[in-house]
Structure 1
């Protein structure tokens, strides 16, 4: 639907006819049509600015028709937006969903993402872009079936091939081993307590009786 379909086109200005009262009525009708179009355009601009498409196109976090399984919950979903979740929550949910969906033939690259993915910085960065590129291709106004298929053909396949370069072989069996870049806190993690805060906490504890 384009903007011209939102309200009827008032058409060319009619030739003045009749007395002043009739001409005023014609002008008021034209003004009413233009006002309706301005109102409709204002609503559409507001929806684009707030990314909250509550019009006929549906909510901004609605999965596309080709998404046959319920997508992973994300901090960006409107139903979770007020719960204080960070993007890390989005990634945790995506990893669980990915492992339940894209497990393939034994011995193939289609293996689960190990539970210790967040302890390997390079892998954590790849998981983040993998999750959000999937969401952009499959959820909301940006969903596009070509991008969704490209994600399967290129992004997921490339990620599966590189997965083994980020982790120790034991990590795939649930036995995490540090390898490569050392683990570190993300920018979403709570700031560690300072020495003064730790001392205050310890001094406030009651002595055992």
Structure 2
């Protein structure tokens, strides 16, 4: 279970304020995959980062009864001077998982060949993404935070990514951001819609999608 208690988040740039979370209180239940919906710029990725602990809210608290992943596929925390293998070894030690088992899974999944033992700085963006997703799936969490996982790699890799993700969801929950409504309907049971800093939770994914599409039909959200 993840509980957001009076979460507020405001960005200030050149004297202008952008509110992405306006006193949000909501609960994401354990073992449920929840689609996080909202227009571009609504603050979905910011909310995921706050839940992961990578970003602090302006005010409020986030409480959890289980382990939470970093945003799945996020490659920004890799050390570019270390190899893919060395980065994976570091993560395995931090999270206390079997190092050799993790390395075997990530190397097989990411399909990087010899590049797995070369510095991350030599990787293309696609290679970084494949490594990041494989590493995310190699560590067991109670809740996975997923930001556009279906955008990683070619069609064959996307299919493999979705298969592995579904396997993980047998024993875990997720909060998923994606532009594909079809992908969300396949992988999520519930939904939450972020609009003008307010979050509305729906127990049924179809109801959440309908509410999101209705918001989109009303035009652009007002600027704070």
TM-score, normalized by length of structure 2? Answer: 0.23
Higher Rg of the two aligned structures: 1
TM-score, normalized by length of structure 1? Answer: 0.24
**Which protein has the bigger helix share?**
1
Query: Which structure's relative contact order is higher, taking Cα pairs within 8 Å and 6+ residues apart?
Result: 2
